Amino acid sequence: MLQFVIRRILWAIPIVLVVSSITFMLMHSVPGGPFDAEKALPQAIIDNLNAKYHLDDPLWKQYVDYMWGFIRFDLGPSISYRSRTVNDILAQQWPVTALLGLASFGVAICLGIPLGVISAIKQNSLIDYGSMWISMLGLSIPNMAMGPLLIWIFALNLKWFPVATWGSPIHVVLPAITLGTAFMAMFARITRASMLQVVREEYIQTARAKGVREIWVMLKHTLRNALIPVMTIAGPAFAGMMTGSMIVERIFAIPGIGKYYVTSVGNRDYPVIMATTLVFALAVVVMNMLVDISYGILDPRIRYN
């Protein structure tokens, strides 16, 4: 297993290089620069700013300098937020997003998997139809509608939760449900489909023939094997949740990193574009590695070589 982990970590190096070079080329090939504004600046001023941020260096040098900084965990200054470095932005905003992502993932897993299990056990019953209807609803309502809807019901009318902003555990509830609902629905549907497939396997029939109680057949034998496809999508989904959602963070005024994924592109804030993209790429790499490790735990027949 250690060999497997080391191999996967080494694999991350070419992935980071490819992602960073493609991102670097794309962001520099898009028209417009960080200092374009409605009030056009004189060229001499733009020259000063380019010199300050080393944007007057050849592109290859800018790329090499950036990657050298990246290796040393120095992600450079933000061009848009001029009193902050990208390290500052990540250190201050990312933990907020990570906490929200963790809570959302909790909502998605803790509600989605039981919903899928119940649906599978009670296939074609009213409970099954009800659960799947709820999950379909969760998938169909976009965050930009779900957020205001929850605010209207639970904050404005019932006054159980704050309307928005951040700062205490109670502030996490509505945004976590908003962000987690779609994933919950996805987990529920995949768990149900996977359970129904596994339940037809011969070893399940064997377990039943041996007189194992139905609840144990479902939880120990069926669910465990049915979780493999769920884990496959849970990894990238978790990476997505941990790196932020601009929409949910915006609706609930959460000081997370999500908005930087979008605004950095609009602002042509090159160091922030690079950092957010690489953080996301690394999160996906790490999560996929954890997913692969989890396969072996769920099904010992799977080997790490």
Binding site for other proteins (CB under 8 A): 30-33, 35-45, 47-49, 51-53, 77, 80-84, 88-89, 92-93, 96, 148, 151, 155-156, 163-167, 250-253, 255-256, 259, 266-268
- Nearer Cβ to other proteins (148/296): 148
Q: Using the minimum distance from each CB to other proteins, give the nearer residue, 57 or 292.
A: 57
- The per-type count for the chain, helices as H runs and strands as E runs, is 13, 0
Q: Which residues contact 39 (CB under 8 A, 6 or more apart)?
A: none
- When the beta carbons of 98 and 298 are compared against other proteins, the nearer one is 98
Minimal distance, residue 179 CB to other proteins, in Å: 15
**Least distance from other proteins to the Cβ atom of residue 124, Å:** 42
CA distance 56 to 171: 45
Burial class (CB in 10 A: 0-12, 13-18, 19+), 193: middle
Cα angle for residues 51, 257, 230 (degrees, 5° grid): 135
Closest distance of CB 280 from other proteins, Å: 18
Nearer to other proteins, 255 or 296 (CB): 255
How near is the Cβ of 75 to other proteins at its closest, in Å? Answer: 15
- DSSP run (H or E) holding 48: helix 43-52
Query: From the CB of 42, what's the least distance to other proteins, in Å?
Result: 5
What's the per-residue H, E or C state across 46-106?
Answer: HHHHHHHCCCCCCHHHHHHHHHHHHHCCCCCECCCCCCCEHHHHHHHHHHHHHHHHHHHHH
Query: Which of 130, 255 has the CB closer to other proteins?
Result: 255
Hunting for tokens 């959602």 — which residue is that?
245
Nearest approach, Cβ of residue 126 and other proteins (Å): 37
Q: Which is nearer to other proteins, 48 or 232 (CB)?
A: 48
| Residues paired with 77 in a beta bridge | 85
